[in-house]
Amino acid sequence: MDNRTRADRSRIIKTVITVIYACLTLYLVFCHETWADEAQPWLMAQELNLCGLLREASAKGHPYLLYLLVFPFAKAGAGIIILKILCWLSAVAAAAILCFYAPFSIWLKILMLSGAPFLYFFPIISRSYSLIPMLLFTAAAVYPGIYGDKIKKGFFFLYAATAIFIGQTHLVMTGLSYIMLAESLLIIKRKPESFSAAEKTACITASAAGFLLPLFQIIYGISLNNSFALYPFYTFVYHPVIFFFAGFLTPFIPGFISDRFILPAGISTGIYNPADSTFVAAAAAAACLIAVLILLKKLSRKDFFLCLAVLVSQLGIYMFVYPVIFPARIHCFTAALIFFFWRAFSRADTDKTVCRGSLRAALYVFFAMLILPGLWFACKDIVQPFSSAREMAEAIRKNLPEDAPVYVQYDVAEALVYELGKRPLLYNGGTPLKYSRLNEPVLESGEGTVWPKDGFYLVSMTETDSGSCLYKTRPAIKRGETFCLSYYGRNNEKGI
């Protein structure tokens, strides 16, 4: 078989893999039901002007990229399906870049795309995480054009731009964004003759903005959000590390009831104190990841230390700033790990002979380990309603009079707000809930709420009294979104 025939066959295989991936994940997208955190940016973009949107995004600890992307569509009156398609397209683009340009074997690429991050979390959950792989893989693909003696300026500017955008996806990506921006500045310093004065000024200015904007968002967010704060070191000694590594195998931890670990509440109440099984899962995932990092160190000491810095920065975010660990956030590091391996394999001076035997097997085992969690989440999503907001909205429409007041206490009802459409969901004396506003007691505990004197219906997240629920939903994955519809008579007496 000549080289041309071999190249044509390789392109066909890569195209088939990409198409299969796109079709499978698109099916899962249409099976997936919107939940609170996905509905949140869309509802905010519908209700707020641009300045208000960016302020609320900062208060929630979110950078701006996803909000700016959905803003024009939401204002134009489009449906939330646009958000889903944007996130899915981003994941498919990442898969295509990986298949056609990554210096990995075809089997390793298939393993990467079959695991939880790329089968489920990035393409299906419509959040800012979905944008990360496409940006990282674009940067990895152009990296050979900026590494070495000859600099391709187009590739360089694209690499620097993706570094800035990555910093605007999620807080946990701030460390990697800073590393990439620093690399861009070092390239300008190392090869000043490759750039004009105007290009240097533009790049340095943009890089400075890329450094300062996430820092501003963190400081501003801390001033607006009570739960987004600098926590003392003694609060978290080992919990973030345990839960971070255990999160790679989340569904297979006995007693697993949710897809997240909220560290402050968990440690104070004991709900999420790590059990023996959690330590076992964490140890298994950590051992595999350590073997993978050893391989990276043998391939490239520079990429190893930079990857380690990203890991430490993400754990630092969980420890001291934003202590909520989701599998999707954990897999932001998985995407970063692929990025650094991609760079290491792309270098002409890398000794690829070290990628043999047990070390090479560790790389395959790590990504194979993520397949079962991905299948677990995907199958759950297909069989059961993800958040059950659609089911509760339908129950309200069918069983309650149109003018019956329906109240809610918690901000995780944002998906229900979207599903109800024009029918208002009320709180605190009859105020329509448009989107969750942080630090309002009514959305946290209900304390200080002004309830109507006459009878009203209440959608709560838990069934407090036996038999008091008129209708109760059971979502596929419990994250506090179990909806219970109850009726309160005069003087707020609960009744059927």
Residue at which a domain ends, from 383, 412, 444: 383
Do 310 and 446 fall into the same domain?
Answer: no
Residue at which a domain ends, from 361, 383, 405: 383
Reference 295, options 236, 227, 350; nearest CA is 350
CA distance 157 to 86: 24
Looking at residue 211, what is its pLDDT?
Answer: 92
CA distance 147 to 136: 16
Q: Output 299-302 pairs: Cβ under 8 A, ≥24 positions apart.
A: 299/341, 299/344, 299/345, 299/350, 299/351, 299/352, 299/354, 299/355, 300/340, 300/343, 300/344, 300/347, 300/350
Do 47 and 162 fall into the same domain?
Answer: yes
Q: Which domain holds residue 244?
A: 3-383
Looking at residue 266, what is its pLDDT?
Answer: 36
Q: Output 421-426 pairs: Cβ under 8 A, ≥24 positions apart.
A: 423/396, 423/397, 425/459
Q: Tokens 């993706």 identify what position?
A: 162
Looking at residue 386, what is its pLDDT?
Answer: 79
Which amino acid, 376?
Answer: W
Q: Are 247 and 325 in contact (CB under 8 A)?
A: yes
CA distance 175 to 18: 30
CA distance 278 to 36: 27
Q: Tokens 């297909």 identify what position?
A: 382
Reference 230, options 293, 152, 116, 320; nearest CA is 320
400's tokens: 């309650």
Do 236 and 329 fall into the same domain?
Answer: yes
State if pTM tops 0.95: no
Looking at residue 459, what is its pLDDT?
Answer: 85
Do 111 and 260 fall into the same domain?
Answer: yes
Do 410 and 352 fall into the same domain?
Answer: no
Reference 171, options 134, 218, 241; nearest CA is 218
Looking at residue 491, what is its pLDDT?
Answer: 52
Do 433 and 374 fall into the same domain?
Answer: no
Q: Are 112 and 99 in contact (CB under 8 A)?
A: no
Looking at residue 10, what is its pLDDT?
Answer: 87
- For residue 154, the tally of other CB atoms under 10 A from its CB is 11
CA distance 337 to 309: 11
Do 393 and 378 fall into the same domain?
Answer: no
Residue at which a domain ends, from 337, 352, 383: 383
Do 95 and 111 fall into the same domain?
Answer: yes
Do 440 and 327 fall into the same domain?
Answer: no
Domain count for the chain, please give it: 2
Do 150 and 56 fall into the same domain?
Answer: yes
pLDDT 10s per residue in the chain (496 long)?
566 777 788 899 999 999 999 999 999 999 998 888 888 899 999 989 999 898 888 877 789 999 999 999 999 988 899 999 999 999 999 999 999 999 999 999 999 999 999 999 999 999 999 999 999 999 999 998 888 778 888 899 999 999 999 999 998 899 999 999 999 999 998 888 888 899 899 999 999 999 999 888 888 877 776 655 555 444 444 567 777 787 787 665 544 444 444 443 333 333 445 556 677 778 888 888 999 999 999 888 999 999 999 999 988 887 777 666 777 788 899 999 999 999 998 876 666 666 666 678 888 999 999 998 889 888 888 888 778 888 888 989 888 888 888 888 665 678 888 888 888 887 766 778 887 665 454 444 455 566 677 778 888 876 554 456 788 887 766 555 667 888 877 555 544 3
Q: What does the radius of gyration of the chain's CA atoms come to, in whole angstroms?
A: 24
What is the dihedral sign for C-alpha 375, 381, 382, 384?
positive
Do 79 and 184 fall into the same domain?
Answer: yes
Do 198 and 301 fall into the same domain?
Answer: yes
